[in-house]
Amino acid sequence: MKQFRKLFEANFKSTFREKAVWGWSIAFPVLLMVIFLTVFAGVNGDDTSFEANIVTVMEEPNELATSLETTLKYIPMLTWKEDSPVSRKQAETWLKNKKIDAAILLPTSPDAKSVELLLNKEKENSTLSQIMGGIVNSILQETNYQMAGVTPQLSMKTEYVSSGSDQLKYTDFLVTGMIALSIAQAGLFGMVSLIEMRRNGLLKRLMLTPITMKTFGLSISLVRLILSIVQIVLLTLIGVLFFKASLHVNILSFIIIFIIGTITFSAFGFMITAFTKSMDGYMGLANIFSFLMMFLSGIFFELSILPSYIKPISIISPLTYFANGIRDSMIYGLSIMHTQFWLNIGILALWAVVTFAVGARFFKWEA
């Protein structure tokens, strides 16, 4: 225990004295979460409303065009650069200069068969084009019913259900995803000190002392756990206090998934040290894995929107199951008796065993 205490103190001081740890393991996840929550969830926890700056073009004034323009002005998510219609040339100029988001060409006569929607070419596949297309189509459909004297018999009502709280929102989804990501990155980048210790011969000297490598490894793992606890507390406080995240934590399942996840990504970082000889090589390889898992593991958005040829990467990514486990235990409050819990634990444990075995097989204690 004396050896373990001394090693723990040394690793703790060397870890928390390192500016890179405070930058990448603390500041970076906080900054990333604040940016995403501010952009997509609103500073006060409210959903971000869609807004589009538009103009209308009415080349030939007529009753139908005037009626459509009046209807458009009742839609609160549309803001108007000009209250009155402008020319098509002016509208196209503003679109090219990105001064407006869209222009709607109103019918030139009561007998016209179409309404034209002008959008910037760079936004062809954007959310803006989809929403604007939906708005215009809805208005035209309602207008067609009125002109034909038809009363619609069916309408669509949307209702959302969840296995969690009725107040579940994107803020909760993102906060828990960022907690999983920050812990994963702490493990991936946390073993970089082994590269420097190997380079300066410290690891070789440690092998000549009475200290066992098991004790050395346990001291490093405990420091990683403490760093991860700091990350969890900080990100959770920011999410709850400033962005009104609503969490329903199952303590037991959260502790288990947290410990297994921390061990898994520490083992992943250890494996990276086995295949790199320098700090630059380690950081480059760790960044590749971090980047892939960050965007392909459901941290920022649902995996269902990914292309089919990308989804296999998400299925095998350990961060996918760690993020799912963190969300299950912090949002949905799932207990250890749930099948999904053991699926996440099993795959993370498999990754931990494989990466540690590979790292132990190829790791060299000498520079």
62: CATH = 3.40.1710.10
Inside any domain, residue 367:
no
Spatial CA neighbour of 110 closest among 55, 67, 56, 69: 67
Residue 227 covered by a domain: yes
pLDDT digits (tens, 9 = 90+) for 325-345: 999 999 988 899 999 999 999
Q: Coil, helix or strand for 168?
A: coil
Last residue of a domain, one of 115, 148, 181: 148
Q: Could you tell me if 220 and 338 lie in one domain?
A: yes
Give residue 261's pLDDT band: very low, low, confident or very high (50, 70, 90).
very high
* Residue 159 is assigned to a structural domain of this protein: no
Q: Is residue 161 part of a domain?
A: no
Check: CB of residue 192 under 8 Å from CB of residue 279: yes
* pLDDT over 60 (residue 44): no
Same domain as 304, residue 342: yes
Residue 160 maps to a domain? no
Q: What value does the mean pLDDT take over residues 39-48?
A: 52
* Pair (354, 223) in one structural domain: yes
Is residue 181 located within the same domain as residue 246? yes
**Could you read off the pLDDT of 293-305 as tens digits, one per residue?**
998 998 988 887 7
- Give the whole-angstrom CA distance, residue 14 versus residue 68: 68
What's the pLDDT at 161?
Answer: 64
Q: Which of 148, 183, 213 is a domain's end point?
A: 148
Q: Does residue 76 register a pLDDT over 50?
A: yes
19 and 65 part of one domain: no
Phi, psi of 302, rounded to the nearest 5 degrees? -65, 145
Same domain, 213 and 299: yes
Exposure of 252 in the CB half-sphere (CA atoms within 13 A)? 6
Same domain for 57 and 33: no
347 or 64, which is more confident?
A: 347
Domain count across the chain:
2
Who contacts 235 (Cβ-Cβ below 8 Å, separation ≥6)?
A: 29, 30, 33, 175, 178, 179, 182
| Residue 228 located in a structural domain | yes
Distance CA 295, CA 307 (A): 13
Residues 57 and 182 in one domain: no
Biggest alpha carbon–alpha carbon distance for the chain: 93
Domain membership of residue 158 (yes or no) is no
Asked if residue 228 and residue 327 are part of one domain, the reply reads: yes
Last residue of a domain, one of 148, 177, 198: 148
* Angstrom distances, CA of residue 244 to CA of 37, 47, 219, 239, 329: 11, 11, 36, 6, 18
Same domain, residue pair 179 and 112: no
Rounded Cα distance, 168 and 44, in Å: 15
Residues 56 and 26 in one domain: no
Q: Is residue 62 part of a domain?
A: yes
Domain that holds residue 290: 2-43+169-362
The structure's pTM equals 0.77
Residues 108 and 181 in one domain: no
Tens of pLDDT along 103-160? 999 998 888 878 899 998 877 777 788 888 888 888 888 888 888 888 777 777 766 6
What is the 3-state secondary structure of 303-357?
A: HHHCCCCCHHHHHHCHHHHHHHHHHHHHCCCCCCCCHHHHHHHHHHHHHHHHHHH
